[in-house]
Amino acid sequence: MAAAMLAVALGAVPVLPVLLSAVPLGVLLAAVDLRCLRLPDPLVGALAGVVGPPLILLAVGGGEPGRVARGAVAAGLAGATYLIVAMLPGQGLGFGDVKLAAVLAFPLGYLGWPAVAAGLVAPHLLNGPVAVFLLVTGRARRGTALPLGPALLAGALLGAVVA
């Protein structure tokens, strides 16, 4: 479904194969986080390897190195912001979420600032109602750990689609 959304929204553009190659790892990361409440470093690193170098080559080869710079700035800002939140007492944000947010911000930055904004706001708009529903129905309490990875990945997909 994610691959189809990307293909329909973006069409036949050079960045499409790179984003499509990230879909299986994204699905795997979401499944692992839902099941284990973890985003394993090797999988997050593999995702970075699947999208980072090809996007850099694509941008430089296409005469658009500014896309790489924008992606790097977006990744740095997202990583720093999430790291600050993760360091706050009682926040429950894991370092896997921090790393994943930074990795996902790079291709979003490559696509443009609107993609970054949508891709980093959407996860919280998606996860918020889920958390409220779980609290209201008694399936979760204030301290219950909830996975953010699937929402981060869905948000990145939405950001790429609306870019």
Domain ranges of the chain: 2-162
Query: For the whole prediction, is pTM greater than 0.85?
Result: yes
**73-123 pLDDT tens trace:** 999 999 999 999 999 987 678 999 999 999 999 999 999 999 999 999 999
> What is the phi-psi region of residue 37: left when phi exceeds 0, alpha when psi lies from -120 to 50, beta otherwise?
left
pLDDT value of position 139: 83
pLDDT band per the 50, 70, 90 thresholds, residue 144 = confident
Nearest to 95 by CA among 46, 144, 44, 143: 44
